[in-house]
Amino acid sequence: MIRDPKDLKRYDASERANHWTVGISFILLALSGLAFFHPAFFPLTQLFGGPTWARIIHPYIGAIMALAFVVIFFRFKHLNKMTPADKEWLAKAKNMVDGNDHDMPEQGKYNGGQKVMFWALAVCMLLMTLSGLAIWRAWFGFDITVVRFGAVVHAAAGAVMIALIMVHVYAAIWVKGTIRAMWYGTVTRGWAKQHHRGWYRQVTGK
């Protein structure tokens, strides 16, 4: 990858570190969580030093992720306010998926899809945290109905969240030039102009 001084700064170092804290936590949580989600994934517990360790570690990583997510949430909340342009973008999202992004409406730093993702993940994260606490037997002893409810919510929200993150990751892979924003913090001007023209204008003044 050739880094060009004219590349545009999209994320500073602190934001990137924050993102990857969440990201790594998520990967560990997803792997260990899936292991308890369905027997087919149980062997994943070996990645954590065996099933008991997986059970012990999982909630602590969850706590880390929850804290890191709170920081990210408040960092980017104001950038994720939905606008009419986002709704228009969402209405045309099918074209985008089909690879036909020429007549997508002009987007700011985040497009409508990313904003929906942001809020969906925030909701999931809230549910995961609360339900996770409800079923964390090492520290808490809630009423059995609460625990049962927590177990269902945790599993359901977890599945949704994994699906969302898969979409998130795939989108980053699919849209070339995206991942470097989280590696180096910069994107090419071309990338910005094509995908986030509003933001491009804002940062370049053009």
- Residue 62 burial (C-beta neighbours within 10 Å; 0-12, 13-18, 19+): buried
| Rounded Cα distance, 194 and 39, in Å | 44
Q: Does 152 bind other proteins (CB under 8 A)?
A: yes
Q: Binding other proteins by CB under 8 A: which of 126, 193, 198, 201?
A: 193
Which of 56, 126 has the CB closer to other proteins? 56
Residue closer to other proteins (CB basis): 9 or 137 = 137
Give the count of beta carbons closer than 10 Å to the beta carbon of residue 76: 19
DSSP secondary-structure letter at 42? G
- 177: contact with other proteins by CB under 8 A: yes
Q: Is 98 in the site for other proteins (CB under 8 A)?
A: yes
| Residue where the block lists tokens 């062997």 | 43
Q: How many residues does the chain have?
A: 206
- Is 148 one of the binding residues for other proteins (CB under 8 A)? yes
107: amino acid identity, one letter: Q
Per CB under 8 A, residues contacting other proteins are 6, 35-42, 45, 51-52, 54-56, 97-99, 101, 135, 137-138, 144-145, 147-149, 151-152, 155-156, 159, 162-163, 166-167, 170, 173-177, 188-191, 193-194, 206
